[in-house]
Amino acid sequence: MKEKLRSQGWFGKTGKDGFIYRAWMKNQGIPDYEFRGKPVIGICNTWSELTPCNAHFRELAESVKRGISEAGGFPVEFPVMSLGETLIKPTAMLYRNLASMDVEESIRANPMDGVVLLCGCDKTTPSLVMGACSVNIPTLVVSGGPMLTGKYQGRDISTSDVWRFNDAVRSGEMSQEQLTVAEECMCRSQGHCAVMGTASTMACMVESLGLSLPGNAAIPAADSRRKVLAQMSGIRIVEMVKENLRLTDILTREAFENAIITNAAIGGSTNFIIHLLAIAGRIGVDLKLDDFDKLSASIPFIANLQPSGKYFMEDLYYAGGLPAVMKELDQVLHQNAITVNGKPIKENYEVAECYNRDVVASLKEPFNPFSGVAILKGNLSENGAVIKPSAASPHLLKHSGKALVFDDIDDYKNRIDLPELEVDESNILVLKNVGPIGYPGMPEVGNMALPKKLLAKGISDMVRISDGRMSGTGFGTVILHASPEAALGGNFAVIETGDIIHLDVAKRSLILEVSDSELEKRKKNWKPVHKKYDRGYVKLYQEHVQQASHGADLDFLTGSSGSEVSRDSH
């Protein structure tokens, strides 16, 4: 052990304070020897029946506990706010920063020497990692794992099919009854969404950052090997405490670059950008929006997974998992970045084998030469906007069209299916006021459904632009995260129906064909239309949330306060 255990600042005390710290814990039947210098390991659990993707976490925590005890540690499981993507209104993203505060304060305030973060559904990973970064004790992530692939009428399905089913029902190709059957076929096991949506992207993010044991990202939740990994993680966190291996040792600039490169190769979610920027802000690594474009521009798409490709997370695991993908990227990765098992990341992936080239391609013969994310610049969004070229229609990557503007989500819902709506497939749909402040919370509505009358014509994609986000399971030629958002009154706020917009992804440009003088004139007459909240967390959020280009963290949460607690209360 390199240093005195932090937990001994509680349990190692004599007199009244030590008595109080230990006596109440003993009501759980814990023997005295557990308090005498064993590393105390927190298991930060996002279990909740309202977060179905994490509903198996109490069982998973038991495996982690077994490992901790086996290695001579003392496990203590604790709950934190859990964010279930499918149920939380208005959007789970509104609460990511709140959950991160819960995690940060829970870790710091309690006698923990190390912590295992149990993460699954989309926001539970970034919120836990962000909170842990602001404390910086030895930390290891165990993901919950993806669901088994859904099966419907003899074919494989998962979350990306929700969008296809929705279009099919709206165009009359699918009945409501068939939709109900599909509903029962999709989520047929424990775990999170089975495609390379945001949850899988986050699981790959933590593995490529070096925050989990190798193989963590893809083992299905229902596979017994997930529990083995959890137990091994329990063993490892105790060793990490003894080595004093902290997040700042792992989360270097190189680790962030590895995560960006890997995310490009797997066609990961655009939400990756927002969450990684926020994590970098907490740990003090200078990461910029442009880094995502620079680092991923030359990385092809080599993991054939939906929504950009064909297969599912289960297939990725059987094909060799994320280590098989990273092995292909060997020459472009920082091979010496240290990971939670104390080894350079290369040692973790170099032993991997690829068992299915239809799922994991070689770098020389990728599934698509374009991948990753492109950062678009121009006068339409002065701080940049994001597009995922691998999920877009190739013929729309260069496109000019007239804007059809919706002032907010209600305006969109009220008008999109009106028979008299003047729209054709050359139009560019623009949705305002779905940004962090405007909605508030930046929901995943950027891949807005197309007008019914165009779906009936067989149109399946159009250029769409918003200041919101898109589900990691979504697809289409969708430009997201326009910043500054409409609620702040920049150029995006004053686009009008009929304005010409030019998109050229190869040139990374997004241009609004309106003169500067006209834009200035419009801005003088502009008034915010979004609702301002006057109490509670949402007020705090609206007053302090940063723009998407900076990770949408609250400004006062950037950085770390360390793990010190200077005062006892007794």
Cβ neighbour number for residue 161 with a 10 Å cutoff: 21
Instruction: Mark the segment that binds ligand FES (CB under 6 A) among 175-183, 189-197, 349-357, 486-494.
Output: 189-197
- Cα separation of 441 and 435, whole Å? 7
Q: Other CB atoms closer than 10 Å to residue 24's CB: what's the count? A: 9
Candidates 34, 122, 467, 499: give the one binding ligand FES (CB under 6 A).
Answer: 122
In the shown chain, the binding pattern of residues 423 to 442 toward ligand FES, with x for contact by CB under 6 A and - for none, equals --------------------
Residue whose CB is less far from ligand FES, 187 or 493: 187
| Residue placing its CB nearer to ligand FES in the complex, 205 or 380 | 205
- One of 75, 197, 300, 372 touching ligand FES (CB under 6 A): 197
- Pick from 85, 249, 444, 467 the residue near ligand FES by CB under 6 A: 85
Q: Where are the alpha helices (DSSP H) in 320-475?
A: 321-328, 345-349, 409-415, 452-456
Choose the binding region for ligand FES from 190-198, 391-399, 408-416, 442-450 (rule: CB under 6 A): 190-198
Does residue 193 touch ligand FES according to CB under 6 A? Answer: yes
Q: What is the DSSP string of 341-353?
A: TSSBHHHHHTT--
Residue in the structure block whose two tokens are 């007459």: 525
Residue closer to ligand FES, measured from CB, 197 or 378: 197
- Which has the closest alpha carbon to 320: 232, 199, 217? 217
Footprint of ligand FES on 47-66 (CB under 6 A): 53
Q: How far is the CB of 52 from ligand FES (least distance, A)?
A: 7
3-state secondary structure 153-170: CCEEECCHHHHHHHHHHH
- Closest distance to ligand FES from the beta carbon of 518 (Å): 42
Site string for ligand FES, 282-321 (x = CB under 6 A): ----------------------------------------
**Residue linked to tokens 């270097």:** 252
Q: Which two tokens stand for residue 74?
A: 């003392």
Residues 6+ apart with CB under 8 A from 52: 84, 86, 121, 187
Which SS3 state, helix, strand or coil, does residue 567 take?
coil
Least distance between ligand FES and beta carbon 87 (Å): 9
Stretch that binds ligand FES, among 191-199, 361-369, 418-426, 477-485 (CB under 6 A): 191-199
C-alpha distances (whole Å) from 246 to each of 10, 262, 429 are: 21, 23, 46
Closest CB to ligand FES among residues 204, 241: 204
Tokens 């019914």, residue located: 452
Is there a contact between 285 and 253 (Cβ–Cβ < 8 Å)?
yes
Should residue 199 be labelled a site residue for ligand FES when binding is judged by CB under 6 A? Answer: yes
Q: With respect to ligand FES, which residue has the nearer C-beta, 85 or 485?
A: 85
> Which listed residue (43, 60, 118, 121) binds ligand FES by CB under 6 A?
121
Query: How many angstroms separate the CA atoms of 547 and 555, rounded?
Result: 10
Residue of 69, 86, 335, 509 that binds ligand FES (CB under 6 A): 86
Q: Which residues pair with 464 in a beta bridge?
A: 429, 478
CB of 160 vs ligand FES, minimal distance in Å? 11
CB 53, min distance to ligand FES, A:
3
Interface mask (CB under 6 A) for ligand FES, residues 26-45, using x and -? --------------------
Cβ at position 124, least distance to ligand FES in Å: 8
The pattern of x and - marking residues 141 through 160 that bind ligand FES according to CB under 6 A reads: ------------------x-
Sign of dihedral through CA atoms 40, 50, 170, 90?
A: negative
| 18/35 Cα distance (integer angstroms) | 10
Q: How many residues in the chain?
A: 570
Q: Is 189 in the site for ligand FES (CB under 6 A)?
A: no
The number of residues that bind ligand FES (CB under 6 A) is: 10
Least distance between ligand FES and beta carbon 197 (Å): 5
Task: Give me the residue label for tokens 């070689």.
Answer: 362
Distance in Å, CB of 546 to ligand FES, minimum: 25
Phi-psi region of 262 (alpha: psi -120 to 50; beta: other; left: phi over 0): alpha
The residue among 159 and 371 lying less far from ligand FES, judged by its C-beta, is: 159
Contacting ligand FES (CB under 6 A), which of 22, 38, 56, 192? Answer: 192
Secondary-structure percent of the chain, ordered helix, strand, coil, rounded to 5: 40, 15, 45
Nearer to ligand FES, 85 or 113 (CB): 85
Residue 133 has φ and ψ, to the nearest 5°, of: -60, -35
Tell me the C-alpha distance between 129 and 126, whole Å.
Answer: 5
- Between 55 and 260, CB nearer to ligand FES: 55
Give the footprint of ligand FES on this chain (CB under 6 A). Answer: 53, 85-86, 121-122, 159, 192-193, 197, 199
